[in-house]
Amino acid sequence: MTDEKDILAAAVEKEYSEGFVTDIEQEFVPKGLNEDIIRLISAKKQEPAWLLDFRLEAFRKWQTMTPPEWGHLSRLPKIDFQDIIYYAAPKRDEDRPTEIDPALMETFDKLGIPIQEREVLAGVKSKVAVDAVFDSVSVNTTFRKTLAEKGIIFCSFSEAVRDYPELVRKYLATVVPIGDNFYAALNSAVFSDGSFCYIPKGVKCPMDLSSYFRINASGTGQFERTLIVADEGASVSYMEGCTAPMRDENQLHAAVVEIIVEKDADVRYSTVQNWYPGDSKGRGGILNLVTKRGICRGEGSHLSWTQVETGSAITWKYPSTILMGNNSSSEFYSVALTNNYQQADTGTKMIHIGKNTKSRIVSKGISAGFSENSYRGLVRMNPGAEHARNYSQCDSLLIGDRCGAHTFPVIRNSNPTAIVEHEATTSRISEDQLFYCTQRGISPEDAVGLIVGGYAREVLSRLPMEFAVEAQKLLSVNLEGSIG
Amino acid sequence: MENLLEIIDLHAGIEGKEILHGINLTVRPGEIHAIMGPNGAGKSTLGAVLAGRPEYTVTSGSVSFNGKDLLAMAPEERSWEGLFLSFQYPIEIPGVSITNFMKAAVNARRKAKGELELAPAQFLKLLKDKMAFVGMKGEFAKREVNVGFSGGEKKRGEIFQMAMLDPVCSILDETDSGLDVDALRIVADGVNALRSPEKAILIITHYKHLLELITPDVVHVLKDGRIISTGGMELANKIENDGFEGING
């Protein structure tokens, strides 16, 4: 039931429509982090011994590490890692263990996520296979059978560990090693669920795959792990979305995504990140501290990242590509919007190892309110990267005069035949533009949405259609109250 | 006949400097008024103040539009009420297509009036009709608002938007400046086709070329923030021959 406080909160925070809480019985592991907790999580998931060892090794490594402090994130609080619940899962109905709880169905329905195939088959939703993750567990993965006919594996990470342990073991932590960074090490120790996707040789995935992450329980963190493997000549388009309830306290989200792209394979990875950003005073919101990395291992392979970051109190995220195979290529297209007291430090790393490798970076930062928005990027041309090329474009758009936009581009070129280009611009929404729009009858709020949408168009147009529409809406909604 | 626009003793300025020193002007439905005057007379200020440009401050006087207090309305409300300003220097909005811009504008107005949004097919038909009206080709709809437009395209774009929004009262702020003869003809044809007994047009201009193509009912001369003379086409001819110096209030 909704009580008065919720109604009030909803009225004030109407801009975040995904901020509701699902009332469902959940089981938790005790608060805090130690080896026993890790053993307990592993036991709950009935994992093989090698995976428990993997977790414990990561945990021991993590204990020797300290959180990175180089991000331009003054509002990132000191996190008490003993004050977090590392595993929360909806209780299964013992009598109907294979059915999805109606409360969960309702939740994903409200979020517009088709977790049942019949919604898609009936043409209500676009044709996409979904893995829906609620707190620490995957609720359902649709179209598994249809995909399996082509040899494609798309399932929750836990199921992959159970059903395809060799594949998981072969690829896990090959792109993001357990000790890669503080948060990746934490994830490796405590990760709960996430998605696993394997496209076999020569197979073009017939539908978009997508994962939807929902944080629900309070006092918890979400630590999902995603592993995508595109074998030789395979191709897939993968989308990721996420939301969380509105709460006054911060919640931690520390995910790891690894992508392996073999010879001539093609992976397009899109994210629309809409975690709860905190309220207009900067209270609450998700701390989004995420490691995403892919490797273009084979010759002629291709990986593209497209991200629209509108949520989270703090975003610390650098989807990166290691261009190992000759003639491999990668792109990073990003729109990061910060409003109120949000802070984002995001960008990419393009590591050129192979010959004739190409990368392109298009980053569009939008800052409003009191927010801080930083682009941080590394383009590295290794000595063997003959004739490699990179083009980077970093644009910043400022709304109001109390926000900040920063760029921290680093270029390391160790090959004289490699070419690196970097362009940057900073602009503002002008009074002229606003007046022009309002004179035509467009309200100032809609005008800002329209102008920002135009500014971000180059990135938005790369998203799958339905996602692009959603992203455009999010940009407008998240800018509400950004102009006087 | 009721007055559509009634400006009484309007004083207004920018950054503490008064530019309009008491404007009085009455426009009735169906009329076309021309406002002529030298540079710096306050012509564009008048257009901007009527449209509600935020940088300008009204210090005294009143403006009623359709019997309502125009000065109390936000710029978008004035637009919904049927006021249109054709900009002297149309503004670029990168990345936003003419189609999306007009869709936002048309539907905002419908919403304000409590009407349903236009169905996509209806909207596209309207768009095509009005583009044909100003002689714009199909690709125009996909272009970014005013980005990379030539001077003539910008002005034609304004007349196109005017046709799309079907305003009751249009203010054309030097829509003729910088246009060659052909472009001027297209703009004039567009404006003439939009004339109707219910609507009024205010043409702000330096020259009488446009007025030869769109015959105004009334011609005013604005100088130093005041209307110093009002008459018919003969006033425009006098200005053409003697210059603004020859006009005295």
Task: Answer yes or no: is pLDDT of A273 > 80.
Answer: yes
Which residues of chain A neighbour B165 with C-beta distances below 8 Å?
Answer: 440-441
What pLDDT sits at residue A295? 98
Mean pLDDT of A25-34: 87
Query: Which residues in chain A have their CB less than 8 angstroms from residue B90's CB?
Result: 436
- B108 vs A431, A443, A456: nearest CB: A443
pLDDT at A138: 77
Considering the entire predicted model, what is its pTM?
0.84
Give the pLDDT of residue A63.
95
Is A50 an 8 Å CB contact of chain B? no
Is there a contact between B28 and B2 (Cβ–Cβ < 8 Å)? yes
Question: Predicted confidence band at A12 (pLDDT cuts at 50, 70, 90)?
Answer: very low
- The predicted model gives B170-192 an average pLDDT of 87
Q: A452 touching B, CB under 8 A?
A: no
- pLDDT value of position A11: 34
Which pLDDT belongs to residue A106?
A: 81
| Residue A5 confidence (pLDDT) above 60 | no
> Residue A433's closest chain B neighbor by CA?
B91
Spatial separation of the C-alpha atoms in residues A33 and B243, rounded to whole Å: 87
Report the half-sphere exposure of A215 (CA within 13 A, side-chain side): 32
Any CB–CB contact under 8 A between A444 and chain B?
A: yes
Nearest Cβ partner of B105 from A431, A442, A456? A442
Strand partners of residue A292: A257
Q: Count how many pairs of residues, chain A against chain B, have C-beta atoms within 8 Å.
A: 79
pLDDT reported for residue A94: 65
Please list every residue in chain A whose beta carbon sits closer than 8 Å to the beta carbon of residue B105. Answer: 437, 440-442
A440 vs B: CB within 8 A? yes
Mean pLDDT (whole number) for B64-91: 96
Across the interface, whether the CB atoms of B96 and A435 are under 8 A apart is answered no
Q: What is the mean pLDDT of residues A406-414?
A: 95
Work out the mean pLDDT of chain B and round it to a whole number: 92
pLDDT the model gives residue A476:
73
Q: Is the model's pLDDT at A137 over the cut of 80?
A: no
pLDDT bracket for residue A481 (50, 70, 90): low
Averaged pLDDT, B139-164:
93
Query: B100 CA to chain A: closest CA distance, Å?
Result: 8
Phi, psi values for residue A205, rounded to 5°: -65, 125
CB contact under 8 A, B96 and A454: yes
Q: Beta-carbon neighbour count of residue A362 at 10 Å?
A: 19
Residues linked to residue A238 through DSSP beta bridges, in sequence order: A209, A269
Nearest CB among B92, B94, B104 relative to A442 is that of B104
Distance (Å) from the C-alpha of residue A442 to the closest C-alpha of chain B? 5
- Above 50 in pLDDT, residue A244? yes
Tell me how close the Cα of B220 comes to any Cα of chain A, in angstroms. 25
**pLDDT at residue A357 greater than cutoff 50:** yes
CA end-to-end distance (rounded Å), chain A: 35
Q: Is the pLDDT of residue A97 over 80?
A: no
Q: Is A313 helix (H, G, I), strand (E, B) or coil?
A: coil
Residue-wise pLDDT for B165-179, tens only, equals 999 999 999 988 878
Which pLDDT score, from 0 to 100, does residue A88 have?
85
Q: Average pLDDT of A371-387?
A: 96
Q: Is B90 in Cβ contact with A450 (below 8 Å)?
A: no
CB A373 within 8 A of CB A361: no
Across the interface, of A432, A439, A451, the residue whose CB is closest to B79 is: A439
Span A90-112, mean pLDDT? 75
Instruction: State whether residue A335 sits within 8 Å of chain B by CB.
Output: no
Q: With contacts defined as CB-CB under 8 Å, which chain B residues touch A439?
A: 51-52, 75-76, 78-79, 84-85, 87
Assess contact for A412 and A384: CB atoms under 8 A: no
Determine which of B14, B73, B76, B97 to mutate to test the interface with A (most A C-beta atoms within 10 Å).
Answer: B76
Where residue A103 falls among pLDDT bands split at 50, 70, 90?
A: confident
Share of chain A above pLDDT 70, in %: 93
Q: Rounded to whole angstroms, how far apart are CA atoms A234 and A252?
A: 34
Classify residue A18 as left (phi > 0), alpha (psi -120 to 50) or beta: alpha
Query: Which of A119-133, A173-187, B30-44 is the least confident region?
Result: A119-133
Q: Does residue A216 register a pLDDT over 60?
A: yes
Cβ distance of B91 and A451 shorter than 8 Å: no
CB contact under 8 Å between A441 and B79, yes or no, is: yes
What's the gap in Å between the CA of B80 and the closest CA on chain A?
6
- Do A435 and B84 lie within an 8 Å CB cutoff? no
Closest partner residue to A438 among B75, B92, B161, by Cβ?
A: B75
pLDDT value of residue A327:
98
Q: Do A438 and B95 touch (CB under 8 A)?
A: no
Confidence of residue A1 (pLDDT cuts 50, 70, 90): very low
pLDDT of A13: 38
Q: Chain B within 8 Å of A433 (Cβ-Cβ)?
A: yes
pLDDT at residue number A98? 67
Closest CA to A248 of A273, A275, A218: A218
DSSP state, B87?
A: -
| CB atoms B55 and A457 under 8 Å | no
What mean pLDDT do residues B81-100 have? 95
Which stretches of A175-255 are assigned E, i.e. beta strand? 195-199, 208-214, 225-230, 235-243, 250-253
Question: Distance from CA of residue B171 to its chain's centroid?
Answer: 2
Confidence of residue A9 (pLDDT cuts 50, 70, 90): very low
Q: pLDDT band for position A93 (50/70/90)?
A: low
Check pLDDT > 50 for residue A10: no
Chain B residue whose CA is closest to A438: B76
pLDDT in tens, A41-59: 999 889 999 999 999 999 9
Tell me which residues of chain A, numbers 154 to 213, contact chain B at a CB-CB cutoff of 8 Å. Answer: none
d(CA A138, CA A191): 12
Question: Residues B97-129, buried b or exposed e (16+ Cβ, 10 A)?
Answer: bbbbbbbbbbbbbeeeeeeeebeeeebeebbee
Is the pLDDT score of A7 beyond 70?
A: no
Q: Residue B108 is nearest to which of A431, A446, A456, comparing CB atoms? A: A446
How many other CB atoms are there within 10 angstroms of residue A72's CB atom? 17
Quote the mean pLDDT of chain A: 88
For residue B153, give both structure tokens: 């395209």
Nearest-angstrom CA–CA distance, B179 and B202:
18
* Contact criterion met (CB < 8 Å) for B165 and A456: no
**pLDDT (mean) for A309-333:** 95
Higher per-residue pLDDT: B80 or B190 = B80
- pLDDT computed for residue B248 by the predictor: 67
Say if the Cβ atoms of B108 and A453 lie within 8 Å: no
Position A6 confidence tier, pLDDT thresholds 50, 70, 90: very low
